[in-house]
Amino acid sequence: MEMTDGSSTPDGYGRRTAVLAMQPGLSGALFDAQTWSQLSRVLHVDPGLVLHEFDSDQAVAALADAEILITGWGCPPITEAVLAAAPRLAAVVHTGGSVKGHVTDACWERGIVVSTAAAANALPVAEYTLAAILFAAKGARALEHRYRSGRDKVDLVAEYPAVGTYRRTVGIVGASRIGRRVIELLRPFDFVVSVYDPFVTEAEAQQLGVALADLPEVLSGNDIVTLHAPSLPSTQHMIDGPGLARMRAGATLINTARGALVDQQALERELASGRINAVIDVTEPEVLPADSPLYTLPNVMLTPHIAGAWGNEIRRLGVSALDEVRRYLSGLPFAYAVTPDQLAYIA
């Protein structure tokens, strides 16, 4: 395909225009030199122009020519007014997971095609979850606390006879992209896995190699329960006080999804009792108050929302966006398209 000046791009695409829209500083983490070089071979895109608002004269001028918006965390909502300023806009390629914060009804009404990097972001979350499951099965948090505080030999046979990964049971709440990736990662191990997801059929569960169960069964019947459901009005506080009380004594709850899935006060009470353990990467609110007991409880591993893509993992999201741009320019459907009908059950 030729450009307007008669030349051709090396990859055979006509170089159409894209604009970056995300929080300041993010584009440099998403696109390393190699990825940026490949992106700029197929698109007119200014690396120095990153929109974090759509109201300025500069933003309006950039939107006038944009066929593709490459969006990221911090992208403002793409409203009717924004679309009026972007008459050529036909595609949104998001480098994050959820598109609900910026893709509005007006985008769907225009027929804009939308892609997400949720699949790429699912990989590090699933890896974190696998590590958390293995550590939970080995009793690593309790043993670390015991060893640090006692500073002497730990009699594993006498003090911790139940630790180990062999035939331990894992319950997965939500067969999302991340939940399914966790199932894949668990296959080489000797875990017994069950899943709660109202959208999964018995046939699908058999294909995944897991048992299908309802939520009370998953909570009461497993040594480890890990949450991978989307945060929706219907899932808010789906893990409540009675649900936590159903968990086995000594069981571990892992939350890498969203804090809103769990009743925070009920969780704090249950953990303070010492009856269950937890690996918590997300909370409600996202940053806990300084006096939260979760900071100091020995049966809690608390991390500051690190399970998703961070550091060099963010580059994977940039590569995912590049791949989707190439598909779009080739006339192919997105590999990870988002459609309006999916919004009711995805994050």
Q: 154 to each of 30, 124, 137, how far by Cα in Å?
A: 45, 33, 17
Rg over alpha carbons for the chain, rounded to the nearest Å, is 23
Phi and psi at residue 51, in whole multiples of 5°? -80, 130
Kindly state the greatest CA–CA separation across the chain. 79
326-347 burial, b if ≥16 CB within 10 A, otherwise e?
bbbbeeeebebebeeeebebbb
Catalytic residues: 258, 286, 305
Report how far residue 262's alpha carbon sits from residue 181's, in angstroms, rounded to the nearest whole number.
Answer: 22
| Measured distance between the N- and C-terminal CA atoms of the chain, rounded to whole angstroms | 38
**What is residue 312's DSSP assignment?**
G
Which residue in the block uniquely carries the two structure tokens 């060099």?
A: 312
Whether 277 and 136 have beta carbons less than 8 Å apart is answered as yes
Chain mean position to CA 331: 28
For residue 216, the number of C-alpha atoms closer than 13 Å in the C-beta half-sphere is 1
**Are residues 68 and 328 in contact, defined by beta-carbon separation less than 8 angstroms?**
yes
Give 216-272 as a DSSP string. Answer: HHHHHS-SEEEE-----GGGTT-B-HHHHHHSPTT-EEEE-S-GGGB-HHHHHHHHH
DSSP 188: T
Tell whether omega for the bond before 10 is within 30 degrees of 0, i.e. cis.
no
Virtual torsion, Cα 172, 174, 178, 184, nearest 10 deg = 50
Give the Cα separation of 213 and 200 in Å (integer): 10
